[in-house]
Chains A and B, each alone.
Chain A
């Protein structure tokens, strides 16, 4: 009897667990095809208080799952403020730059006018420059986030004593140092000559250029990061999480830098971005936010039903950069796993004969691994003890090779440190 009861208890628990899992795991990715694709003009137009060549991007919507290559060229773009027209010219892939550098002035109303190549005319509502506010503090901090993941948080503090800024948007550029873990001084190269009217190949070892050991990569943020302070006691942004890097993120392996841009944006822009962002952030399983087309502050001057995407904003911007090293937060800790797995191979080659120290080979596609740089040289393989990668792939050649990224960082980044880089 007792035994029987225990059995019930066990299966009961298992069943309940099963239910809970049901509630938690009914999410699946699906293939989705756009049913009624509409090609709409997309405007990305923020002019700032920095004196520079201002830039506006025009593009078209593209179908779900396709690549973004629908640039909008041939449009006439101008920003009008205080009776002055700032003309923008198409330079490359949908980017329009102001002919003259200029910066947005406080208390001037600006608006955007666009006439596309197909003759459609759009204009924005009038916008004013927002309050300029400094980033008071940009810092990195080791935290455990809400999902229980350990990592480094990049946070920002900002304070506007006038209490007029209120709406903030952040973008960042992250630059990180990549060190090829299996970089070696030597490299293989192929020397070819004719022997008895047959082209033969000799594999030689030479010194590798130094730059392949440490490289730098820069990436741009691809998330909308906005926050508001209008519901707070003070116009105080405190510890706003601009980016979170899990402790196993390859980007923080050595030295990491982030250039954070703080835009003080208009309320219109904030509401617009908040709405479109909410449409692509995961909600609750049971209730889903009502999506739909959202109008920004740009509209067609001819046909009010013509849809156009995007917002024109005039915002003040400040930037700040930070650096940190992995060991600052994780002393005596193994580095995060490298971005690719560095498996070793010793590719088979058919040796023709040995000429003194030189091994002579028939020049065939078998030697392509030396020239195509999918793999790079690690060290000589002596075959003793035999090095097996796997039973199906016995190492037969004389050289151990690793994936290029493991031995040559230029596979991942630029060898030159950027101008702002400090060690």
Chain B
């Protein structure tokens, strides 16, 4: 293409001469005749021949009286107010051109080396000196409408001109506000104001203008600008087009994305899925996807691909939330209204995340809408939820405020029954987010989050826990190839446990973990087919592992405070998303993480080759403030690749390893809110894990169906467990109670998803195993004789189905079915009597399973009418949880009752639970 332009230019040059030298003088008069006629007259009266295209001359009329005037002067006058330029050649030809000026000199720098020109082909066209415009390379192959403003003159090519425009709604010819006009792919831009007008200063020449708006279809237009001028653009409205555009944009993402094992939860789509007590819950929706499960209905935390619940990094706007659950695990503590998207990395974890072995739940909250006030609210039977989006600076800044609370405490207090009256169960959570767009290049987002729970399990104990998180993120674009974000976060998790009985043992106690992180996350696209992400992060942990204080005057409890712990966790990372060929892409990442346990601290030193206990304890070594007591450093490889076998069929393989420096300790079979987090130290090593996975991804029927099969194998070292009967809370010698062993899990995940249509949903099935092994040379440090045994959440078969059916625009049905193998439990293998007391002897850990779990839920969503002028949009949700009334056992336990042992099973929801909630959007 470049060559063509050049040859045309040389061709012209050969004809160029100084025209004026051979001027014949002409006398002629035109009285408002068409220019075509005028040219015929001139040809008649002179030897000159005109060359032009007929359609250039339409509707141009000329008037003029010329006495012995040269052809050049006549032409100058008659073409003055037309878009035509002319050139007179030596051989008596008058060449007419439309818009383009034919130069008799070449632009400066025209004779640069050819290579350079070829490289910079776009620059030639854009060069302000001269514009050799042709339907050519610069314009994309699709046909664009061209608007010409002004015409090229010898003196106007180097200038900037004012381009004004009005954007109109084509349907009703009203002005269209808030439409972005983007020039040449983002080099300049403007936004139409309320009367639809916009203006831009642009260099003379060809520009591509593109409109972008949520409510109108996009239009691309070519503008050839040689003067100040105005034009109008008419846009067609986009009817409910937003969702479809998004869907189309991601249509093939499951196949084309380089990373395997990513689950995205569509927050908006999940609103119809029936859930217990009508609470929308992104985690519960995630758990219907293969590879993500929980130990049971009331269990706290999620197990991803056979990992423990502490192995998930749960991020809300980049900040860690330690326990995003209310009331054990019945409700999620993340407000679904405030959430915009959730990405769950369960296979390949990009190198910019780290610190947990199994997965990353990356939750992003919504940015507040910046041009009008809006909100959402729901009223449920147990909780109410409200979210407001308030603009602060029009089109620039907004605030999002969300809050949710339960009224169960109020209800409990008003009950007749004495025991329930004394019970308490309350929780709430709130989110506050400020987003400010300073310019196209700088954006700031600040989020604050708090959740709180309080309840009693027995009448004499009270448990409270809270999550607190604050994050500040500054996104900056350095240029079109480099951008980055600076992120500062602070998170805190704390719980307290108070006991008030009838002895001198009353106490109040608590635990706190706090972390502050600063992270610089950069990306670079300087090289074609490469996208680099690199950065560094450093995190400071402060843990108050526990205090216990007397409660009341009578209490004889000695105040105990376990010394604070502190540590630093830092990481450097780089990853490259490299498109090797059209078919093969690789994301290769390397993360180098460091962990240092810092003083002040007293650390127990044990004799090597002996079990860690009181008798092998050599000394308690004291370390000074800030002293590096123990350091760990590991490289983490994050490798993932994708090969497109066909445009809609890909195979992905990945290898990942990860290190986790903090551990959640629990003596319960399922995680509980009063589990403590322990930092790695001199005696407790970090957990490490490797995961290999391979998956096939296929889309059918123009991406309506997505099918995937993924397999994985995971091995981890130094995962934590504890000796049976261990006491972990307020224990200064924790290392004597915990064990570190191996984990092994593997599985195959199958998912078929229908993404569009009246009927949509998905069906997932996973076969997986999750095993653990605690082997030691000392019998007291072994579990199950050092053999592999199933973990507490090992559920080989996991089937789930989620379906939505849209009956009319207002009424839709949804349904949810889950089947899982019963989880392993430890049960007695016999009874015995010691001192008149009947007791039970338990089997090896997890030798038995509770019965299989299955549950069907149904829901109906009825939307309010769709009148445009309505103040608010509302819908009702009716749902029934556990329609089949299946009494799903949650656990089996054995209680000594007056000398006899009785077996009991617990279940959380034993009967169908109907719910109704009212939702409002304004």
> Which of A20-28, A74-82, A198-206, A354-362 touches B?
A20-28
Contact A293 B832 (CB under 8 A): no
Contact of B420 among A24, A31, A35 (CB under 8 A): A24
When distances are taken between beta carbons in the complex, the residues of chain A under 8 Å from B819 are none
- Whether B557 pairs with A231 at a CB distance below 8 angstroms is yes
A30, A274, A310: which contacts B892 (Cβ < 8 A)? Answer: A30
Give the residues from 804 to 859 in chain B that come closer than 8 angstroms, CB to CB, to chain A. Answer: 826-845, 847-848
Taking the complex as formed, is A145 at the interface, i.e. its CB lies under 8 A from any CB of chain B? yes
Closest to B782 in A: A305
Q: Assess whether A239 is in contact with B502, with CB atoms less than 8 Å apart.
A: yes
Q: How distant is B898 from chain A, measured CB to nearest CB, in Å?
A: 7
Q: Is the pair B411, A16 in contact by a Cβ cutoff of 8 Å?
A: yes
Partner of A293, one of B415, B838, B843: B843
Whether the pair B667, A64 counts as a contact (CB closer than 8 A) is no
Scoring B299, B671, B898, B906 by chain A CB atoms within 10 A of each residue's CB, the highest score goes to B906
C-alpha gap A30/B848 in the complex (Å): 15
B903 contacts A287, C-beta separation under 8 Å: no
Tell me if B908 counts as interface (CB < 8 A to partner A): yes
Asked if A286 and B725 sit within 8 Å, CB to CB, the answer is no
A343 cross-chain contacts in B, Cβ below 8 A:
none
Q: Which of B505, B668, B779, B839 contacts A290, CB < 8 Å?
A: B668
B298 to A280, Cβ gap below 8 A? no
Asked whether B408 is an interface residue with its Cβ less than 8 Å from the other chain, the reply is: yes
- The smallest beta-carbon distance between A361 and chain B, in angstroms, is 44
Within 8 A of B (CB), among A382-405: none
Q: Quick check: which of A38-46, A209-217, A409-417 contacts chain B, the rest being far away?
A: A38-46
Stretch at the interface among B29-37, B257-265, B910-918: B910-918
Q: Which residues of B in the span 287-304 have a Cβ within 8 Å of any Cβ on A? A: 298-300
- Most central of B420, B780, B847 by chain A CB within 10 Å: B420
Contacting residues, chain A, for B415 (C-beta < 8 A): 17, 20
A147 touches B831 (CB 8 A): no
Given contacts A275-B724, A289-B668, contact A32 B827 (CB under 8 A): yes
**Contact with B840, one of A44, A231, A280, A283 (Cβ below 8 angstroms):** A280
- Name which residue of chain A comes closest to B674, CB basis: A287
Check B503 against A220 for contact (C-beta < 8 Å).
no
Task: Return B159 CB to nearest CB of chain A, in Å.
Answer: 71
The residue from B548, B893, B896 contacting A288, defined by CB atoms under 8 A apart: B893
The answer to whether A304 and B779 have CB atoms under 8 Å apart is: yes
A292 contacts B895, CB within 8 Å? no
The answer to whether A19 has its CB under 8 Å from any CB of chain B is yes
User: Within 8 Å of chain A (Cβ to Cβ): is B282?
Assistant: no
Residue of B nearest to A236 (CB): B556
Q: Is A324 an interface residue (CB 8 A)?
A: no
Let me know if B277 is at the binding interface, CB within 8 A: yes
Query: Which one of A240, A289, A291, A292 has the highest number of Cβ atoms from chain B below 10 Å of its Cβ?
Result: A291
Q: Which residues of A contact B901 (CB under 8 A)?
A: 64, 280
Q: Closest CB-CB distance, A294 to chain B, in whole Å? A: 5
**Known A222-B838, A282-B893; contact A37-B420, beta-carbon cutoff 8 A:** no
Given known pairs A22-B911, A146-B460, the reply for A279 and B840 (CB within 8 Å) is: yes
User: With contacts A16-B382, A35-B848, A231-B558 known, is A294 near B724, CB below 8 A?
Assistant: yes
CA distance A125 to B901 in the complex (A): 30
Contact between chains at B725 and A147 (CB < 8 Å): no
Which of chain B's residues has its CB closest to A43's CB? B834
Q: Is the CB of B904 within 8 A of A39?
A: no
Flag whether B169 is at the interface (Cβ < 8 A): no
B827 touches A35 (CB 8 A): yes
A51 within 8 A of B: no
- Taking CB atoms, residues of chain B closer than 8 Å to A36 are 829, 843, 847
Are A287 and B724 within 8 A (Cβ)? no
* A12 and B841 alpha carbons, distance in the complex (Å): 46
Does any Cβ of A come within 8 Å of B412's Cβ?
yes
**Cβ-defined contact, B844 with A293, below 8 A:** yes
Interface residues in B, total, Cβ within 8 A: 88
B830 touches A40 (CB 8 A): yes
Q: Is A117 an interface residue (CB 8 A)?
A: no
Q: B839 to A276, Cβ gap below 8 A? A: yes
Contact of B779 among A221, A229, A283, A305 (CB under 8 A): A305
- Residue B178 lies at the interface, judged by CB distance under 8 Å to chain A: no
A19 in contact with B896 (CB, 8 Å): no
B-contact 0/1 string along A71-104, CB 8 Å cutoff: 0000000000000000000000000000000000
Taking a contact as CB atoms under 8 Å apart, the answer to whether B419 and A290 are in contact is no
For residue B419, which residue of chain A has the nearest CB? A148
Query: A143 to B669, Cβ gap below 8 A?
Result: no
Q: How far is the CA of A148 from the CA of B757 in the complex (A)?
A: 59
Q: Nearest A residue to B556 by beta-carbon distance?
A: A232
Q: Is B440 an interface residue (CB 8 A)?
A: no
With a CB–CB cut-off of 8 A, which chain A residues contact B605?
none
Q: A29 at interface (Cβ–Cβ under 8 A)?
A: yes
Listed stretches A55-63, A178-186, A366-374; interface member: A55-63
Bound CA span A304–B781, Å: 13
Residues in B whose Cβ lies below 8 Å from that of A309:
832, 834, 841
Q: Looking at the complex, which one of B277, B667, B895 makes contact with A280 (CB distance below 8 Å)?
A: B895
Q: Does A223 lie within 8 Å of B830, measured CB to CB?
A: no
- Which residues 875-922 of B sit at the A interface, judged by CB distance below 8 A? 887, 890-896, 898-899, 901-911, 913-914
| Docked complex Cα distance between A304 and B892 (Å) | 30
Q: Which of A22, A26, A40, A63 has the most CB of B within 10 A?
A: A26
B672 on the interface (CB 8 Å rule)? yes
**Shortest distance in angstroms between A404's beta carbon and chain B's nearest beta carbon?**
24
- Complex contact A288–B502 (CB within 8 A): no
Q: Please indicate the chain B residues that have their CB under 8 angstroms from the CB of A220 in the complex.
A: 836
A26 and B892 contacting across the interface, CB-CB below 8 Å:
no
Kindly state whether residue A327 has any CB partner on chain B within 8 Å: no
A34 at the interface (CB under 8 A from B): yes
State which of B328, B557, B899 has its C-beta within 8 Å of the C-beta of A222: B899
Contact A59–B894 (Cβ < 8 Å): no
- For window 289-309 of A, CB contacts with B under 8 Å fall at 289-295, 299, 304-305, 307, 309
B501 in the interface (beta carbon within 8 A): yes
**A278 contacts the other chain (CB 8 A):** yes
Q: Is A107 an interface residue (CB 8 A)?
A: no
A333 at interface by CB-CB < 8 Å: no
- Given contacts A64-B901, A289-B667, are A20 and B420 in contact (CB under 8 A)? yes
Shortest Cβ gap from B747 to chain A (Å): 24
8 cross-chain CB contacts under 8 A? A27-B905, A32-B828, A32-B892, A146-B458, A282-B893, A282-B904, A283-B668, A285-B890
5 more CB-based (< 8 A) A-B contacts, given A274-B725, A292-B783? A40-B832, A153-B502, A240-B503, A286-B908, A288-B906
- Nearest 7 pairs of A and B residues by beta carbon: A275-B725, A61-B830, A32-B903, A222-B899, A292-B724, A287-B672, A286-B328
